[in-house]
A and B are shown apart, each in its own frame.
Chain A
Amino acid sequence: MKNYTQKTVEDFDKPLLCYLGDTALSVNFGEQIDPKLIAQVHAFDSAFNKLNLVGVIETVPTYRAITIFFDPLIIDLEELETSVMHLASNHFVARSVGRVWEVPVTYGDGFGTDLKDVAARLAMTENDLIEAHTAPLYLVAMVGFLPGFSYLSGLDPILSVPRLSEPRAKIPSSSISIGGSQTAIGSLEGPSGWHVIGRTPIRPFELERTPPFLFKPGDRVKFRSISAREWLILDENSARGSLILDSVEE
């Protein structure tokens, strides 16, 4: 996990610009889920936010695009477009922009109701599945859907499993799930069509805590399998507002 840096992005193609009405600009780098695109988006997002352009309210980086929200009364669109295209033409080195977190997870029995089914579907043992899920260093590609809900890139393709045909109305908070070729750390209780394989005692979003949000787009995550007993202890600390994990590296 040391000195994790992205390779130089060599083909930083011209992004496609498209306005979302009179309040936002979408800067689109591609159409797929591709680690290289995600790195481009995050590097661009981090560089763009350093410009502190007048009239820009906030940005939302996703897998392949960033959305720039602006105040239509203040923004100078010409300046915005010029800055965006100028930044995009820079062949800058896309370094890892975030921190690395080790996230404890209790898999299966009472914590991940779908672990057994998913393992059976993939013709694996539960232990092999857990091993394959804890092996990669994932990238937080995007946070969205609900506050703190973190979409991770880097799932081993052998763990891909189609989403449920009928989404569930509610899955527990902090669920670890797999949907298609993606995996995610849930935050609040909510609806989901993904398979729940485990649960972390960590709360990615806790309003009363400083900071309220744990994972940022660009952060990296490694899962660690823990026992049910350990989960209960950590969850108790978590409930008291303790962070219960450190970022391994800034």
Chain B
Amino acid sequence: MTALEVDQCGLGASVQDTGRYGHRRYGVSTAGVMDRRALGLANALVGNSVDKAVVELALSGASFRVSGGQVLLSVCGPGTRLTVSGQSIPKHTSAKAVDGDIVTVGPPRNGFYSYLAIAGGFQTASVLGSRSCHRRSGIGGNLLSKGDLLPCLTTTATKSLCFPEGFNYNNDDAIGIIPGPQFDMFNEGVWSQLLSTRYKISQRSDRMGICLIGPRLLCDKGHDIVSEGVVPGSIQVPGDGTPIVLGRDCQTVGGYPKIATVISTDLDRIAQFPVGCEFRFRIVSKQEGLDAARRFSLWQNSLKKKVRPVGELTSNLFSHNLISGVTKGDEI
């Protein structure tokens, strides 16, 4: 069997795909990658469809030992690097690894999550239609730890691919929100605070929720509501007034007021904001949210065409990066 053996990994490493749907009415959270952009990119670089299972790493790097056969790997995420047995692989480029190789993923220097994809996708058990690990319930397996074996397919595709266009994970655009079901439990003063102040990503953030540091958002009539459905991206405000943007591991129902919802494409962005990063919210229309979702889907579907075999377009790549000036210095 071809597999990657976990040699070392941080606390929040898990297998994730696009998530588990259809069971939320029974209390099963969707889970799924926190950043769908990196999932798509990492998969495209190894010739996969965008929904194949990957390893997600939170705030730390990891290393794996290849056993049993040859694999094609890629790593994506802000500031993350892939090393195969000591050889550093250029960013946005996949690489071959063989039996005995040590594959190292560097920490996400300018973000929160890194992703390791493998040609064919990781072959851990699919549970209720998904390979995503939901830590709280144990559905889809547990967090990764040293010695775990991640089964994968032996691949004949050994040609490294690259993504000449490059990709910028984080920019200064405000995070788009649509007012939520309890928007009117918060008075105008609270709303203007939410929209005019820069909020900061707390180090307490995880896959359940992205905790924010900033002015407290207090309801005049208390913070208890009769529990109802929530979605990843819901901004819940518990009694202490500290807003939490729910992540992909969030529960299916919640009893705190939801002042607003982060639109789906900006949930991928905010998930990658590093601890301490400051940002603003802005209100967007439902139509803007839908348009952004459509653009994201088009971008995702275009990835397969945009990746190129390494070497084929080296001269093009150079002119693109060095002369055209379309990539910023902070691009990862």
Contact = CB atoms under 8 A, between A and B. Distances in A.
Q: Do A and B come from one complex?
A: yes
Interface of A: 16, 18-24, 26, 28, 31-33, 57-67, 69, 72-73, 77, 142-149, 151, 187-188, 190, 205, 207, 212-213, 216-217
B46 to A, nearest CB: 25
B89 interface: no
A33 B226 CA distance: 7
Nearest to B266: A21
B153 interface: no
Contacts of B231: 20-21, 23-24, 67, 69
Contact of A60 (B25, B128, B138): B25
A21 B226 contact: no
B26 A148 contact: yes
Interface residues on B, range: 35 or more
A61 B181 contact: no
Given A57-B21, A60-B24, A148-B27, A21 B229 contact: no
Contact of B25 (A33, A59, A72): A59
Most buried by B among A58, A60, A63, A148: A60
Given A19-B261, A72-B293, A146 B136 contact: yes
B264 A145 contact: no
Contacts of B263: 21-22
A147 B227 contact: no
Interface of B: 21-28, 127-128, 136-139, 177-178, 180-181, 225-231, 233-234, 251-253, 258, 261-264, 286, 289-290, 292-294, 297
23 contacts: A19-B261, A20-B180, A20-B231, A21-B261, A26-B181, A57-B21, A58-B25, A60-B24, A64-B228, A65-B181, A69-B21, A72-B290, A72-B294, A73-B294, A73-B297, A144-B253, A147-B23, A147-B26, A147-B28, A148-B27, A187-B27, A207-B139, A213-B26
Most buried by B among A21, A32, A67: A21
B27 A145 contact: yes
B261 A20 contact: yes
Given A62-B253, A63-B227, A64-B228, A22 B25 contact: no
B293 A73 contact: yes
B180 A146 contact: no
Nearest to B183: A18
A72 B264 contact: yes
Contacts of A33: 226
Contact of B21 (A26, A58, A64): A58
Contacts of A67: 228-231
A188 B181 contact: no
A20 B226 contact: no
Nearest to B177: A21
A64 B226 contact: yes
A212 B20 CA distance: 15
Contacts of A28: 181, 228
B254 to A, nearest CB: 9
Contact of B264 (A21, A63, A216): A21
Most buried by A among B180, B225, B226, B251: B226
Contacts of B261: 19-21
Nearest to A215: B26
A22 B127 contact: no
